[in-house]
Amino acid sequence: MSQQKVDQRKLDKLDSKIKALLEERHSLIEKKAQDLAQTILKAELGFVDEEILLGALLELKQEISSPDSDKIEKWRTVGREFFRKERATKKQRKQSNKSKNQQTLADHQQKLKSVSA
C-alpha cells in the first residue's frame, strides 16, 4: 500500500474522531441547557422575562467572583436543602407506588384464587 493511502486512512480516522468529539460536545451542551432549564422550572421562575433572568444571572456572576461573599454559601445551603427534599419526596413516591403495586398484585392473586376455587 502506498504512503499516500496510509496517510489518507489516518486522516479519515482523525476526521471521524473529530466528528465524534464534536457530536459529544454538542450532546453535553444540550444536556447542560436542559439541566439549566429544569433548574429554572424547579425554582418556579419559568414565567420570568428573559431580560430579568439574565440580569439576575449576571449579578450572580459578579457575586460569585467576590471571594468573601457569604451569600454564596447561603445559596448553596438553600439549593442543597431543596435537592435533598426533592430526593426524599421522590423516594417516598417510589416506595408508595411499590406498596400500591404489591397490594394490587395481592388483590389480583386473591381474585384468581376465589375464581378458581
Q: What pLDDT is stored for residue 117 in this prediction? A: 61
Question: What does the block give as the cell for 10?
Answer: 489516518
Q: Indicate the range of 11-25, 54-68, 86-100, 101-115 predicted with least confidence.
A: 101-115
Tens-place pLDDT, residues 3-28:
888 889 999 999 999 999 999 999 99
Euclidean distance between CA atoms 96 and 37, whole angstroms:
28
- Please enumerate in sequence order all residues whose Cβ is within 8 A of that of 3, keeping only pairs 6 or more positions apart, or say none: none
Euclidean distance between CA atoms 37 and 65, whole angstroms:
23
pTM: 0.60
